[in-house]
Structure formats: structure tokens, C-alpha cells
Structure 1
Amino acid sequence: MITMEDIIRDGHPTLRKVAAEVAMPPSDVDKQILSSLLEYVINSQNSEVAAKYGLRPGIGLAAPQINVSKRMIAVHITDENGALYSYALFNPKIVSHSVEKSYLQSGEGCLSVDEPFPGYVHRHARVTIKGVNLEGEEVKLRLKGLTAICFQHEIDHLNGIMFYDYIDKHDPFKTIEGAIAIER
């Protein structure tokens, strides 16, 4: 089981590397790592389990965050309509996206970043993601809102990009005209 001690912190060189593709079919070790990422995110949202093991709540986790530089992410999130998106994906990629942007009004956070980075992180309002699940099946997801933001945040980890890289250094709360503000 992954704990907070397993999650590397901002400044660790692995967080700035471009992660390697996972060979298909994935090895048992890679399947176990991906499965444990999803287990962490699910457990971190259960207040009793999180308290017992000292887990910081999260909605997504990428393999580079546990110092494994491979293209694997896990997301466990409920969208604005109450639909659950619980996915563990190998080699996820954004295959299309909207021109329209969105951002979280409360800003973004990260399990690898302990200090707050106030400001707006502008992302694509809608994305289509493709990846391979633990059963080896290709998954294609059309996402919007908080769910789209979460997947983009995790895929950024695979490319060595941190959420605060997008925050305007001179005007952190600058909005892009027409961008959708999302409340969390």
C-alpha cells in the first residue's frame, strides 16, 4: 500500500522528467504499481482509512509521484452529475481538446506539493483521453469540468510539468476571456 512517505515532493528530479511508455502488455510489476496508485486515491478519500494511515486526500496520482518514471495514472473522482470516474490507465494521452479553457476557482493542489500555490491554472475545458486499463483494454474518455482538469493534471506529471507552471507569475489570478470558472 502506498503511503504519504512514498510520495516524492516538489524539487525531486523525477517530477521533472518525461516518463517512459509502459510496454504492452504490461508486466505484473507495472500492473501492481498502477493498481496501488488507484488504491491510494480511493483510500485517501475514505476519512477513516486516511486517518488511520495518515493519507492526504487526493483525486489523482501519477507513477512519477512515487518515483516511478513510467506513464501510469490513477483517478478517482465524481463529476458534477454524480458519475464516478475511477480509472487506472497505462500510457494515457490527450487525443483531442477544446479551444475553450477552464480553471478551478479555488486553484489546484498536488500530493507532491506541500505549500499552496495560489492562482488560476488554465486548462482545456474538454478533453478526449485514450489509455489502456488494468485489463489490457483500450479506454476512450470524453471529459469536461473538474474531471477533465484532474486528468490533464495527472498527464502533465508524465511530461514533467507541475500545475504551478501554468500560473501567471505577474498576475496569478488573471483570467482568460471566455474561460469557464469551476467551483470545487
Structure 2
Amino acid sequence: MTIKPLIILPDPVLRLQSKPIETVDQAVRTFADDMLETMYDAPGIGLAAIQVGEPLRMLVIDVSKEEEEKAPRVFLNPEILSTSDARSTYEEGCLSIPDYYAEVERPAEVTVRYLGLDGQMHEETADGILATCLQHEIDHLNGVLFIDHISKLKRDMVVKKFTKQARRVSA
């Protein structure tokens, strides 16, 4: 397994639309393992393929608590089928926007359909942190970042800060 370098804001790659995965083969399974390794190393609870520079509709999630056994999940071509009217707010962060967190309100429950590594179609209804994480990572597949769900003023400040940092690094 390989730890992949993370794409960091303001890299325009983060705004790309990801393409569907056509077949579930060994290359896809190996890439899923690499993504999980990268996510755990970061450390994070979710990672979309675009965050490691691959515009593929794949994401990995593990919302288990530290003291629990790891529970890695892989979602290929995930799509949200429905959302609840009820809302919930969580403090979100992102491996592509390190050390920045903000309260984001999203639907409290979602039903998603996805392809598993077994090549089968699955449907699942999630709530709590899993629902939030699924929405956050599926947003990534559509070129949307969690900062797009906060006020324009806060978003502009974050983008400006990361753009300035990127210029310093490349200088």
C-alpha cells in the first residue's frame, strides 16, 4: 500500500467533476487500499479520490471511534438518492484544507446508492456523522468543498489564506 500526496486548496484539481468507475478490478481495489492508508495516515475519517489527484467517483470512509476496531468503507460511484428534511450541524474539516474547521448544516439523514468492491450495487440509509461524511465526500466528487456551505466572507478568507500559503511554498 502507498500513501498518496494530498491535493491542497487552492489547487484547481479539487474543483474537477469526477468520472464514474467502469469496472471493479484489482487496480481499483489496490487504489482503494492506498486511499485508506492515506486517510488513516493523515489522519481523517473520509477521503475522495480527487483529493489524491484522481478524478474518479470513489471515496473511502471510516467513522469508527479511536478506541473501536477500524471499520473501513469503500464507496464507488456513490449517489445520494434522498435526504431528510431534518437538518444537523457538525464541525467539519477537510484533509485538503488542513487545520481549518467550520460548522456546516446538512440533511441529518441520506440514502445513498453505490457500487461496492464486490461489484454489487448497494443502497444504504445513514444518519449522524456517517451521513455528514458521505455528503462531504460526495460533494468532493462534484467539485464542491465544505467551505462552499459557509458564508462567502469566511470562504473568501480561507481561500485567500491558502492561496497566500501556496505562493510562499512555490516561491
TM-score (norm 2): 0.80
1:158 equivalent in alignment to 2:157: no
1:135 equivalent in alignment to 2:118: yes
Gaps of 5+ in 1: 45-54, 173-184
Identity over the aligned pairs, expressed in percent? 33
Residue 158 of structure 1 aligns with an amino acid whose one-letter code is L
Distance in 2, matches of 1:84 and 1:100, equals 29
1:13 equivalent in alignment to 2:5: no
Residue number in structure 2 paired with 1:114: 98
TM-score (norm 1): 0.74
Residue 6 of structure 1 aligns with an amino acid whose one-letter code is P
CA contact (8 A) 2:18 2:142 kept: yes
Gaps of 5+ in 2: 156-171
Shift of 1:116: 1.4
Distance in 1, matches of 2:109 and 2:24, equals 29
SS at match of 2:8: coil
Shift of 1:99: 1.5
Shift of 1:171: 8.1
Q: How does 1:85-96 map to 2 (within 5 A)?
A: 86-96=72-82
Distance in 2, matches of 1:2 and 1:70, equals 18
- The 1:85/1:102 distance shift into structure 2, 3 A limit, reads farther
Shift of 1:133: 1.1
Distance in 2, matches of 1:168 and 1:120, equals 11
Residue 95 of structure 2 aligns with an amino acid whose one-letter code is L
- The 1:98/1:83 distance shift into structure 2, 3 A limit, reads farther
SS at match of 1:109: strand
SS at match of 1:153: helix
SS at match of 2:139: helix
- The 1:127/1:84 distance shift into structure 2, 3 A limit, reads farther
1:167 equivalent in alignment to 2:150: yes
Shift of 1:103: 1.1
Residue number in structure 2 paired with 1:175: none
Residues 115-170 of structure 1: CA deviation (Å, up to 9, x unaligned) = 414x3211110001111111112221110011100111111110000001101235
Q: Which has the higher strand share?
A: 2
- The 1:116/1:37 distance shift into structure 2, 3 A limit, reads same
Distance in 2, matches of 1:83 and 1:95, equals 29
Distance in 2, matches of 1:170 and 1:10, equals 17
* Structure 1 counterpart of 2:87, from 84, 96, 101: 101
Counting matched residue pairs gives: 153
* Structure 2 counterpart of 1:59, from 45, 59, 63: 45
Structure 1 moving runs of 4+ over 6 Å: none
SS at match of 2:72: strand
